[in-house]
Amino acid sequence: MVAGGKGRSFVIVGNGIAGVTAAETLRAEDGAASITIIAANTVPVYYRPALKDFLGGRVPAEKLWARPPSFYQDIRIQYIADQVVAIDGRQHLLLLASGRQVGYDCLLLANGASASTLTCPGMQLAGVTTLRSVADYQAVLAYLGNVRRVVVVGSGTLALETVEMLRYRGLQVSHLLRHQILWSEVLDATASDLVLQQEEHDGVDVRLEQEVAEIVGKDGCVSGVVTRQGQHIPCELVLIAIGIQPNIDFIRRGGIACGCGVQVDASMRTSMPDIYAAGDVVEAYNPLTARARPLGQWYPAIQQGRAAAYSMLDLLDTGSTAGANINYLNATFLYGLDFASVGLTSVSGYPYHPLVAPPQPRRYQKVLLHNGIPVGWLSLGDRAPALAFKRAIDHHVNLLPVASVLCEQHFDLDSWLDAQGVPPPILGVSKVGEDHLASQMARIR
């Protein structure tokens, strides 16, 4: 227990995985603290990554919930079903939509993001929806009985997963991408082409460089979309998966620094004393590209929630973690292709030098170097070397001595890093005095 934290009041805005993880961490470290969660959404926290399988019929609704209904009671958390409309950082007060005021010693903003949407005519038609919440997916499933053709709009992983699950259900799918590259924040042109080829091989109607100009309907229901290029695509359902917008309106009004999301330092602190932020509401800044964007990913949200809690308790081990800007390992499947990436992967040209593995069917691997130091790695078809490359990226290891064999299948990067005395990869956050590697491996298992 943290003696210095006894009796402190911690308030968390948002009941998603970042907020819930923070609450659990706070309670584990301080049994006497007052912990309150405020959220308008009374739906328990759910496994967002499982929603695609729920759409595909592979996961039942009861398997979506990440915590039991008794969660708040079990760890002695006060839950307030309300919406925060204003922050008074100087007075340490929150104003709720009901008119109630709530005070805090430390505040965590973990109120997430909303789905981005289109602004074209026809958005009000039945059969048009974004995909974000459990309710969104339930509505789509209820609607599928009257659907044969679907248009999916978006170029990220959500759009791709949605297309794959709809094809699994036997529906005709047209996939509209605004540009030529899928998931351009992570994939390069070659990797994108491999994934899009998988889509087309599965019978998906992939349309590059197409934007929706209008959604047309009949009797109040969707009957098709018209693109800015004049193409008409018949359909009964339009699913919009074009990204997220962090919920920062009341936060910005409260004088807290925001860009596309809440700006935080490596300890998840905002520009306002005693206020922290984590999860989808946060923008992740990449110093190599000088660009910021919301991550919108499950594992980073968990790590940020834990980091924020430790930071609020003055327990965060800042020597072995990097808060919002840690080099997260992203591992998933992209239309059946095993995929993993770490760090910066989609930037080319000076001063970044790409090393690409010899081409093989359904396989692609690239390492991005900056003066010999790896800044990013991605692989399609084989994620086995992922942790070794993350290890090299985390600790800024000069790979020039092995550059000629780095992407060869026979080369064991882990063994070479062992010989150089390189520490293990940073897999998440830890607290002061904690055995970092042991704690992270335990959490993964």
For the residues of 347-410, what is the DSSP string, one character each? --STTEEEEEPPPBTTBEEEEEEETTEEEEEEEES--TTHHHHHHHHHTT---GGGTTTTT-TT
CB 113 within 8 A of CB 247: yes
Task: Please count the other Cβ atoms lying within 10 Å of the Cβ belonging to residue 41.
Answer: 16
- Residue 441's pLDDT is 46
Same domain, 230 and 125: yes
pLDDT exceeds cutoff 50 at 442: no
CB 418 within 8 A of CB 432: no
pLDDT exceeds cutoff 60 at 368: yes
Q: For residues 6-18, give the mean pLDDT.
A: 92
* pLDDT tens figures, 406-435: 999 899 999 999 999 999 998 888 898 775
Counting residues of the chain whose pLDDT is more than 70, the rounded percentage is: 94
For residue 15, give both structure tokens: 């009941």
For residue 232, give both structure tokens: 């008409």
Last residue of a domain, one of 261, 287, 321: 321
- Residue 433's pLDDT is 79
Burial-class residue 277 by CB neighbours within 10 Å (0-12, 13-18, 19+). buried
Q: For residues 73-99, give the mean pLDDT.
A: 97
- Residue 178 CA to residue 228 CA, distance in Å, equals 10
Residues recorded for the chain: 445
Number of domains in the chain: 3
- Residue 220 CA to residue 165 CA, distance in Å, equals 26
CATH number at residue 234: 3.50.50.60
Same domain, 249 and 109: yes
pTM for the structure as a whole: 0.93
- Residue 42's pLDDT is 77
Same domain, 236 and 138: yes
pLDDT exceeds cutoff 70 at 328: yes
Q: Is residue 219 part of a domain?
A: yes
CB 86 within 8 A of CB 250: yes
- Residue 2's pLDDT is 39
- Residue 48's pLDDT is 95
* pLDDT tens figures, 145-171: 989 999 999 999 999 999 999 999 999
Sign for the CA dihedral angle at 442, 300, 22, 269 comes to positive
- Residue 324's pLDDT is 54
Same domain, 12 and 110: yes
Same domain, 249 and 107: yes
Last residue of a domain, one of 208, 242, 276: 242
CATH number at residue 408: 3.30.390.30
- Residue 180 CA to residue 11 CA, distance in Å, equals 44
* pLDDT tens figures, 385-410: 999 999 999 999 999 999 999 999 89
Q: Which domain holds residue 217?
A: 117-242
